Structure 1
Amino acid sequence: MTGFWTTCSVLLLIAWSSRADNAEIPPLSGSPWSWRCEPKGEGLYDICVRILTPENTATPALSHPACRLTCGKFGTLWPKPKSVNLGKQLSYFLPHSISHTFVASEEDTLLLTEAFKNFMKILDTYDSEYLLGKLTWKSPEPIGYHKVNINIHIEGPSKSHLGLDITDEKYALVVTTDLCSQTSTANITAKTFFGARHGLETLAQLIDYEEIEKKLMIVNSADIKDEPAFPYRGLMLDTSRNFITVEAIKRTIDTMSANKLNTFHWHITDSYTFPLALKSLPKMAYYGTYSPRQVYLPEDVKGLVEYARVRGVRVVPELDAPAHVGFGWQWGPQEGLGNLTVCVDQEPWQEFCLQPPCGQLNIANQNIYTILGKIYQEMLDMFGPLDLFHFGGDEVNVHCWNTTEEIVTYMKSKNLSLTDESYYAQWSQFQNRAYDLLTEANGQVKIPGIIWTSHLTEKGHTNRYLNKEKYIIQIWSVKTDPLIKELLDQKYRLIFSNKDAWYLDCGFSAWVGEGLNSCSPYKGWQLVYDNSPKKIALNVSTEVDFSLILGGEAPLWTEQADSLTIDGRFWPRGAALGERLWSDPDHDWRDAEYRMVNHRQRLVKRGVQADRLQPEWCHQNQGRCYRN
């Protein structure tokens, strides 16, 4: 028997090799599986159930994408709208059968034209999973295919830039289908371009690729009225610790727009690098970059700001100070300006900062204000017009200042003690001068400044050191921090970034020493989703003025991330943040899981390297991957 099987195996191997060399294995055609929408249970969402397609049935098989589009109250929409009524039928169409009309101001029409191009590019991605090429056909159109008319009407006066208090992001989307004329019509109405753009994103999510018939399909009726729960919905990216390419930043902004996140907080400088090229201060980047290629030129920044605007995203720059400065500032002495910074790269670093390399501005040297004024002027030219500016302003190490001879001498000359409180007062004076310099650079037009929580916002400090008319406080402590109640009681506006739920760099190996990094454990999408700013406020205060809660932001510090890895750090957890801040749902992550798993698939089709959440089997068998 052994000889027989050996001979047989050899013959089979030869035959298989011959087949591999001389013939292609034909692709699979069709599938034995189809799906139907079934209620999961009382009070729960409907799910798509996979079944074996009955043979000789008159009912056509329903593909998985077709079932998802029409199953449940929200279908595949993410973030879920405030009010929605979706039809259960689908119409099929080809990309070149889409027409559009805009009723808007000249400036808004230009923006809509670019946004519509992006919409059409999204439709081109919908067949990418099936490797069938671009969705193009020659006319005449096959019988049974619909035309799709998209009409966008911006009713209000042009507001071409986002603003906390002036931008209305509401929209209404109505889809109807006339079977006689085989025409589906989508009407989007909004008061601003930004609302209309959100409506286009929602419309894109009512469309998918029909893998069985190789065609696009759209839900044939929908009535959606939608608006965000919070005006500030952000992600923060640190590009100082590791340089992030312009292409990677654009990909991040694209994905933010897919999740209706509207604020890209750019932590562009730190003690590590100053990668921003300035015409008036060229030595900042010369001394402050890892390499001449790893720098953001003014045209890069302006291009990114416009790229983001077309996608409904504002760019908020951060110039962190007076701490988190260092490399890029060393040229002061050779220019006759003295030491602009102190403690730069000082050892042992643990005594002078929280992570290497150290560095803080030299508050004894008045030339720092001349330099700051020039930096603010160029940043406003690159990033403006701005409705917000981030000053950073955390993690000042008093020991650094108090062990620097020049600063100690300065403090004594002003008859100031060398206590922490004295240094906090000097820090507060620095912050207020920085604010005035920004206002001066902005033509005396005041804009709110954002400040991280710090020693200046500790219990009993904020009212003494920071004017609530000027500053918004960004909370990065934990959700149980009693400071939250104090700030709300004192009527400070807040942005939540509590590190116990929304820090996206947590849960990886330590980058200094061994073990896990300092903010571990990893924050899963479920934790991100369930972190509600309003609930946090209600847990610490019985009476809350919710207008003070502007929204939230998930930061990504890049000690262990770069252009190749930020997609997986941001997504799909950033999508969970998007639904929390847009919809502020009253349920937990469990009721969003099916849509989240599907939305991750959608992001991947759009070219995002988003982390996988579950096996594909779970995606195709909703309700089967659960834990009691």
Structure 2
Amino acid sequence: MDKNQIHGTAIFTLLSMAVMIFSSATLVQCAVINLWPKPRIVSWPLPLATLLSPKFIITSPNHRYLSTAVYRYLHLILTEHHHPLVIPTVNLTNGSVVQSLIVTIHDLSAPLVHGVNESYHLKIPSTGVEASLTAETAWGAMRGLETFSQLVWGNPSHVASGMEVWDWPIFEHRGVMLDTSRNFYNVEDILRMIGAMSGNKLNVFHWHITDSHSFPLLLPSEPGLADKGSYGPDMQYSPKDVTRIVQFGLEHGVRVLPEIDMPGDEVAPGCWKADPEIQEFLSKDGSLSEILEMFLNSTFPYIVSMNRTVVYWEDVLLDQTVRVNRSLLPPESTILQTWNDGPNNTKAIVSSGYRAIVSSADYYYLDCGHGSFIGNNSKYDQGNAGNTGTGDSCLSFTYVHRGGFQLVVGGTAKPSSSKSSQRRGIDFPSPSVSVFPFLEVVSSSLRPL
């Protein structure tokens, strides 16, 4: 195979993905294994495959979360017997049967934090019985396990051999956001979302838990918030639920980033001005921006003192009506997340020295345009009107990342449950589009070479 095909750097659109999956016999004759998302470097000079032992094992260091992932992938590898639509044309090696995968971790204590090393090196020899997976951290090993699982197919199981993979992400933040304030999703739906994210090597679940629409988070210290603010007693997240989601995320290499809006995304300045205390403050020549600065001054130092980086939506600096002075948000402790005005706000943020997470509504808000905000109009099905993200538009936004914006740390896509008029399962947050296929597009968008 031509080296450029092996090490190719193309970002696939939905159309090209369809061609790869449903192509004619010409592609069937090619020795191609489509790994997803595409690793940085794949070396497979000869199209070889080896039988995988039915007693195949994975040996790894003991780790609270990696050990769970090893068990999960071992079960998948031994029981799935995946039959790809395009079966790789390979030469089966004689005699060798892969008996085990040996996992080696350099830093077993590294926590799952922003910027953690997720690199790995996977080697499956053409002879011998052992494959090897070497990673800097447990989280990189999880990415390598996903890759290995995609190299196994058939019944009896075969695995590609004579292959090496070196992989590491371009962006340390590769996220998906789910809004459970506007539309409640049960815990099982959220876990399925996180599982699908892990399969696409996405690593941040941005959990937009609360907003002005509802407050489904049950806080033992303030139980009235959920009692009065949730859609109902069966639409609340208990501390046990939160713990389960966070633990499940760690077992899948996905960090849970909670968002609790204060006071809420759609609280208009007029609502603030209706409060008697704020009225008094404004009557003394105060401003709403000064009130926001008071809030930041009371919370920002506390968060930083906990050795945390604060993430704000871009509005805190870029809003035309209520915003704070830039001096209150030192760039070394602040990340700003963009959602408005396409790449322009991202450019404004990074030009000011801030790191940015891209969540542009024009590109990364998936399936917008349905529900009570705009209406269930079929013209939005094609993603060509309104605040609408599609697979193609999501991929087209990668030019921002390649345009010299070194301070862009990644992106977060949003299945637009905020635009849904009814509660639905996680597969269908709006009438038009399933979320899970878009996770593949998001994964590709955040891993360009």
Q: The TM-score by the shorter chain falls in which range? A: 0.7 to 0.9
2:59 aligned to which of 101, 109, 114: 101
Residue 170 of structure 1: aligned partner: 119
**In 1: Cα distance, 2:285 partner to 2:98 partner:** 76
Q: Judging changes above 3 Å, is the alpha-carbon distance between structure 1 residues 283 and 458 closer, same or farther for their aligned structure 2 residues?
A: closer
1:524 aligned to which of 383, 390, 393: 390
Please give the per-residue CA displacement for 1:26-49, whole angstroms capped at 9, x wherever unaligned. xxxxxxxxxxx9x99xx9999796
Residue 246 of structure 2: aligned partner: 305
**In 1: Cα distance, 2:316 partner to 2:302 partner:** 23
Please give the per-residue CA displacement for 1:419-451, whole angstroms capped at 9, x wherever unaligned. xxx211211221231334545xxxx42311111
**In 2: Cα distance, 1:461 partner to 1:281 partner:** 29
Please give the per-residue CA displacement for 1:350-402, whole angstroms capped at 9, x wherever unaligned. xxx4xxxxxx5xxxxxxxxxxxxxxxxxxxxxxxxxxxxxxxxxxxx222222
**In 2: Cα distance, 1:510 partner to 1:304 partner:** 29
- 1:84 and 2:42 are equivalent in the alignment: yes
1:466, CA displacement in angstroms? 3.1
1:151 aligned to which of 102, 106, 109: 102
Residue 449 of structure 1: aligned partner: 310
Q: Judging changes above 3 Å, is the alpha-carbon distance between structure 1 residues 401 and 227 closer, same or farther for their aligned structure 2 residues?
A: same
**In 2: Cα distance, 1:265 partner to 1:401 partner:** 27
Whether the 8 Å contact between 1:100 and 1:151 is mirrored in structure 2 is: yes
1:291, CA displacement in angstroms? 2.0
1:317, CA displacement in angstroms? 0.6
| Secondary structure, counterpart of 2:246 in structure 1 | helix
Query: In the TM superposition, what are the counterparts of 1:50-129 in structure 2 within 5 Å?
Result: 50-51=24-25, 70-71=31-32, 75-86=33-44, 87-94=46-53, 96-102=54-60, 104=61, 106=62, 108=63, 110-123=64-77, 126-127=80-81
Q: How many pairs are equivalent?
A: 415
Whether the 8 Å contact between 1:528 and 1:573 is mirrored in structure 2 is: no
1:197 aligned to which of 122, 142, 147: 142
Residue 416 of structure 1: aligned partner: 285
Residue 13 of structure 2: aligned partner: none
Residue 335 of structure 2: aligned partner: 472
Q: Judging changes above 3 Å, is the alpha-carbon distance between structure 1 residues 514 and 196 closer, same or farther for their aligned structure 2 residues?
A: closer
Residue 270 of structure 2: aligned partner: 399
Which letter does structure 1 place at the counterpart of 2:393? L
Q: Judging changes above 3 Å, is the alpha-carbon distance between structure 1 residues 279 and 478 closer, same or farther for their aligned structure 2 residues?
A: same
Whether the 8 Å contact between 2:217 and 2:237 is mirrored in structure 1 is: yes
| Secondary structure, counterpart of 2:409 in structure 1 | strand
Residue 297 of structure 2: aligned partner: 432
Whether the 8 Å contact between 1:485 and 1:537 is mirrored in structure 2 is: no
Whether the 8 Å contact between 1:507 and 1:523 is mirrored in structure 2 is: no
1:453, CA displacement in angstroms? 1.6
Q: Structure 2 stretches of 5 or more lacking a match?
A: 11-15, 85-93
| Secondary structure, counterpart of 2:366 in structure 1 | coil
Q: Judging changes above 3 Å, is the alpha-carbon distance between structure 1 residues 511 and 122 closer, same or farther for their aligned structure 2 residues?
A: farther
Which letter does structure 2 place at the counterpart of 1:77? L
Q: Judging changes above 3 Å, is the alpha-carbon distance between structure 1 residues 399 and 155 closer, same or farther for their aligned structure 2 residues?
A: same
Q: Judging changes above 3 Å, is the alpha-carbon distance between structure 1 residues 99 and 485 closer, same or farther for their aligned structure 2 residues?
A: closer
| Secondary structure, counterpart of 1:278 in structure 2 | coil
| Secondary structure, counterpart of 2:125 in structure 1 | strand
**In 2: Cα distance, 1:155 partner to 1:538 partner:** 31
Residue 562 of structure 1: aligned partner: 424
| Higher-RCO chain (CA-CA 8 Å, sequence separation at least 6) | 2
Whether the 8 Å contact between 1:177 and 1:184 is mirrored in structure 2 is: no
Instruction: Decide which structure has the larger Cα Rg and report it.
Output: 1
1:254, CA displacement in angstroms? 0.7
Whether the 8 Å contact between 1:174 and 1:224 is mirrored in structure 2 is: yes
| Secondary structure, counterpart of 1:277 in structure 2 | coil
1:536 aligned to which of 400, 410, 414: 400
- 1:550 and 2:415 are equivalent in the alignment: no
1:524, CA displacement in angstroms? 2.5
| Secondary structure, counterpart of 1:572 in structure 2 | helix
1:295, CA displacement in angstroms? 1.4
| Secondary structure, counterpart of 2:363 in structure 1 | helix
| Secondary structure, counterpart of 2:342 in structure 1 | coil
| Secondary structure, counterpart of 2:332 in structure 1 | coil
Which letter does structure 1 place at the counterpart of 2:311? I
1:538, CA displacement in angstroms? 6.4
1:164, CA displacement in angstroms? 2.1
Residue 288 of structure 1: aligned partner: 229
**In 2: Cα distance, 1:285 partner to 1:47 partner:** 48
**In 1: Cα distance, 2:65 partner to 2:316 partner:** 43
Residue 348 of structure 2: aligned partner: 486
Which letter does structure 1 place at the counterpart of 2:358? F
**In 1: Cα distance, 2:347 partner to 2:25 partner:** 53
Whether the 8 Å contact between 2:314 and 2:336 is mirrored in structure 1 is: yes
| Secondary structure, counterpart of 1:177 in structure 2 | coil
TM-score if structure 2 supplies the norm length?
Answer: 0.82
**In 1: Cα distance, 2:325 partner to 2:165 partner:** 42
1:113, CA displacement in angstroms? 1.9
Which letter does structure 2 place at the counterpart of 1:424? S
1:240, CA displacement in angstroms? 1.2
| Secondary structure, counterpart of 1:409 in structure 2 | helix
Whether the 8 Å contact between 1:177 and 1:185 is mirrored in structure 2 is: no
| Secondary structure, counterpart of 2:357 in structure 1 | strand
**In 2: Cα distance, 1:455 partner to 1:280 partner:** 28
Q: Judging changes above 3 Å, is the alpha-carbon distance between structure 1 residues 527 and 465 closer, same or farther for their aligned structure 2 residues?
A: same
Please, what is the CA RMSD of the aligned residues?
3.3
- 1:236 and 2:101 are equivalent in the alignment: no
Please give the per-residue CA displacement for 1:296-335, whole angstroms capped at 9, x wherever unaligned. 11111111111111111100111111334xxxxxxxxxxx
| Secondary structure, counterpart of 2:149 in structure 1 | helix
| Secondary structure, counterpart of 2:308 in structure 1 | coil
Q: Structure 1 stretches of 5 or more lacking a match?
A: 1-36, 53-62, 131-142, 325-352, 354-359, 361-396, 586-628
1:225, CA displacement in angstroms? 0.9
**In 2: Cα distance, 1:503 partner to 1:484 partner:** 15
1:470, CA displacement in angstroms? 3.0
Please give the per-residue CA displacement for 1:490-548, whole angstroms capped at 9, x wherever unaligned. 2111101111111014143555656467973643222222321xx32666xxxx461x2
1:146, CA displacement in angstroms? 2.5
Which letter does structure 2 place at the counterpart of 1:175? I
Q: Report sequence identity in percent.
A: 28
Whether the 8 Å contact between 2:50 and 2:98 is mirrored in structure 1 is: no
- 1:275 and 2:275 are equivalent in the alignment: no
| Secondary structure, counterpart of 1:469 in structure 2 | helix
TM-score if structure 1 supplies the norm length?
Answer: 0.60
Whether the 8 Å contact between 1:153 and 1:190 is mirrored in structure 2 is: yes
Q: Judging changes above 3 Å, is the alpha-carbon distance between structure 1 residues 311 and 507 closer, same or farther for their aligned structure 2 residues?
A: same
Residue 441 of structure 2: aligned partner: 576
Whether the 8 Å contact between 1:508 and 1:522 is mirrored in structure 2 is: no
